[in-house]
Structure 1
Amino acid sequence: MKIKIGTRSSALAFAQTSLFMKELTTLLPDLEIDIIKIKTTGDILYDRPLVDIGGKSLFIKEIEEALLDKRIDIAVHSMKDMPVDLPPGLKIGCVLPREDCADAFISLKYDKLSEMPKGATLGTCSGRRKVLAHNINNKIDIKGLRGNVLTRIDKLNNGEIDAIILAVAGLKRVNQEHLIKEILSPTLFIPAVAQGIICAEVGEEDEFICSILEKINHRETYIQAVIERAFLKVIGGDCKTPLGIYTELRGHYIDFIAFTAINGTYKEYKNRLSFNEKSARDLSIIENEIKNIFSKANIKC
């Protein structure tokens, strides 16, 4: 059997697709795979902040079109790039075990974010990272910085900025974790929704591919993704408000800490959810429960 997998053309996207292929070929050793690299609008329009041109969904638009047109059978994404609502006819077929969800501080000059002096520049276009970085050190200047992982590292090495913050997962996947000066605690520097999760998107009607992906789906990571994306949906989906959420599964409990920064006001939310075997099988139960929690907190964009 031969299948076509669509992905972005960056080094990180290819590394993530390779991890997915390893899971797939472990299950089906005789499977033939073609990798289809697709350049997305987000890759092309790299000189403007994402919030000004349509958000993270620009990294998946052309890939989803290829999936809907059946030019590819499976699309592999960073799940944090996925909008809450998928196009009709598509669904998340599986997620892989989550990599470290934390962010990392990288600099050629400083060992910690908190040690950066007044006027030192931190490069990021992420509203979440801007808010959290200023919570730790309000003396620094934030400079807009886009590009893939290796591009941002190059800009740091070229002296365009003094420091950058990148996801630990991405650095590990492109073998750049040796650059990390400080891993920022996810309970303080709260991660993006679904950070560190690789997902596979598939056509809902492709029963054979769906059945294969179900066998490699990582249940714990999937539950975390459902919870975190429910939070995102409650507060307005792909809005421009800085936000983050960190979840931990502890037996039949799910602990989480989340934040929003609406109109410049930073708020944190902590809670614990319990679930039984029924709700673990039917994730809509967990999703509804977390929606109720955040709806009662009245956190809307």
Structure 2
Amino acid sequence: MNQVSQTQTIPAKLVIVSRESALAMWQAEFIRDRLRALYQQTEISILGMTTQGDQILDITLSKIGGKGLFVKELETALEDGRADIAVHSLKDVPMHLPQGFMLACIGKREDARDAFVSNLHANLEALPPGSVVGTSSLRRESQLRARFSHLKIESLRGNVQTRLRKLDEGKYAAIILAAAGLKRLGLGDRIRDLISPENSLPAVGQGALGIECLISRPDLEVLLRPLHHADTAACVQAERALSRALAGSCQVPLGGFAEIVGNELRLRGFVGSPDGKRMAHAELCGSTADPEALGNAVAQALRAQGADEILATL
């Protein structure tokens, strides 16, 4: 092992496990390169895996168990020692980690907004009645139906390239994707419009990377500390607390977005019915020192507006 300080050592080898999609591999390579720059004597490799979520593409995520399908195999690789850390899009990480696992590091957030992508139209407002819009997200579907009841919302699964190909084949007038993924893949030029959080509240954790490891590996938490972004961590902790309090997953039309404004943390949340006819919105500010409390408070505010009743109908 290579000595970093008198109290900390780093491993001679480090294995990163990742999904094999282009975006997931970009994210893993980004973390690998950051770590290589920090720990030049450590041999760092990537183990790519195809998960259940990548294989089942003909059914919406909400019907097959949610985004946890993207992380289970990666966690198994951590558990059996094939890998040391797993790199995730944080929005794909379930709100409750299995026993024995932890999020050791939260990277600096990319653009958290949703992106409007179309070959024919400039933005959602420009779409004529009956236009087909593709999305894989109940959260986006609920907000789209609430604002644009004249549009037809249809399911869209697959990796970023697959979704763009389906758009280019004319199956959709437009599709909605996370802006961060497009930008990371060098596809920012496909974005016709960035949808503000006021009009499409992002998914919890959208745009941020999370690095997972075993709780029994506190040495890795220390190793990853230079990559940890405290402001992003505070924001996503508040968002994830909100989601946990309302049992949120991709099976639930729920959004949460926190940002630091001055010295405070501001969190906006929403819960809606899939048809967009019932919506609950809440916004509160709190201390950056206690993001969980803010998340729980916004969840309570949503409950006061009928969030539990909306969720009970799903």
The TM tier, using the shorter chain, reads over 0.9
Q: Would the aligned equivalents of 1:116 and 1:137 in 2 still touch at CA under 8 Å? A: no
Structure 1 runs, 4 residues or longer, greater than 4 Å off: none
Deviations 1:112-167 (A, max 9, x none): 11111111100112111112222332211111110011100000011111110011
Q: Secondary structure at the match of 1:214?
A: helix
Say which of 98, 105, 111 aligns to 1:87: 98
Q: Distance in 1 between matches of 2:268 and 2:122?
A: 26
Unpaired stretches in structure 2, ≥5 consecutive residues: 1-11
Residue identity in the other structure for 2:295 = I
1:27 Cα deviation from its structure 2 partner: 1.8
2:280 maps to 267
SS at match of 1:139: coil
Specify which of 62, 83, 90 is matched with residue 51 of structure 1: 62
Partner of 1:127: 138
In 2, Cα distance between equivalents of 1:265 and 1:296: 15
The DSSP-based 3-state class of the residue aligned with 1:122 is strand
For the Cα contact (< 8 Å) 2:238–2:294, is it kept in 1? no
Q: CA deviation at 1:2?
A: 1.0
Distance 1:23 1:220 in 2: 19
2:201 — aligned with what? 190
For the residues of structure 1 that align with 2:126 and 2:148, how far apart are their CA atoms?
8
Query: Which of residues 39, 44, 61 is equivalent to 2:72?
Result: 61
Q: Which of 272, 286, 289 is residue 291 of structure 2 equivalent to?
A: 286
Match of 1:160 among 168, 171, 195: 171
Distance in 2 between the 1:239 and 1:152 partners?
A: 18
Amino acid at match of 2:240: R
Separation in 2, partners of 1:171, 1:289: 30
For the Cα contact (< 8 Å) 2:67–2:250, is it kept in 1? no
Q: 3-state DSSP class of the match of 1:30?
A: coil
Alpha-carbon contact 1:187-1:246 (below 8 Å) kept: no
Distance 1:297 1:96 in 2: 28
Q: Does 1:295 align with 2:300?
A: yes
1:169 is aligned, of 180, 192, 203, to 180
SS at match of 2:249: coil
Task: Supply the AA of the counterpart residue of 2:185.
Answer: V
Q: 1:244 aligns with which of 252, 255, 264?
A: 255
Cα separation, partners in 2 of 1:140 and 1:293, compared to 1, 3 Å: closer
Q: Is the 8 A contact 2:90 2:209 kept in 1?
A: yes
Distance across 2 between alignment mates of 1:198 and 1:31: 22
Match of 1:37 among 48, 69, 93: 48
Structure 1: how far apart are the matches of 2:170 and 2:150? 19
Q: Does 1:112 align with 2:123?
A: yes
Amino acid at match of 1:224: C
Query: Structure 1 length normalisation: TM-score?
Result: 0.93
Q: CA RMSD in A?
A: 1.5
Cα distance in 2 for residues equivalent to 1:9 and 1:157 = 23
Equivalent pair of 1:124/1:165 in contact (CA under 8 Å): yes
**Normalization by structure 2: what TM-score?**
0.89
Distance 2:269 2:300 in 1: 14
Q: Percent identity, please.
A: 36
Question: Aligned partners of 2:212, 2:260: CA distance in 1, in Å?
Answer: 24
Match of 1:253 in 2: 264
Aligned pair partner of 1:178 in 189, 201, 213: 189
Letter paired with 2:262: G
Q: Does 1:199 align with 2:216?
A: no
Task: Give 1:241 shift.
Answer: 2.3
Pairs aligned (count): 293
- For 1:61 and 1:115, the matched residues in 2 are separated by 40
Query: Are 1:145 and 2:118 matched, yes or no?
Result: no
* Alpha-carbon shift at residue 221 of structure 1 (Å): 0.7
What is the CA-CA distance between 1:289 and the residue it aligns to? 4.1
User: 8 Å contact 1:204–1:210 — kept in the other structure?
Assistant: no
Instruction: Decide whether aligned partners of structure 1 residues 293 and 180 sit closer, same or farther in structure 2, where only a CA change above 3 A counts.
Output: closer
Q: Retained in 1: the 8 A contact 2:238–2:267?
A: no
User: How far 1:291 moved relative to its partner?
Assistant: 1.2
CA distance 1:83–1:120, shift in 2 (3 Å): same
Equivalent in the alignment of 2:9 = none
Does the 8 Å CA contact 1:94/1:213 hold for their aligned counterparts?
Answer: yes
The residue number in structure 2 matching 1:282 is none
- Contact map agreement 1:114 1:136 (CA 8 A) in 2: no
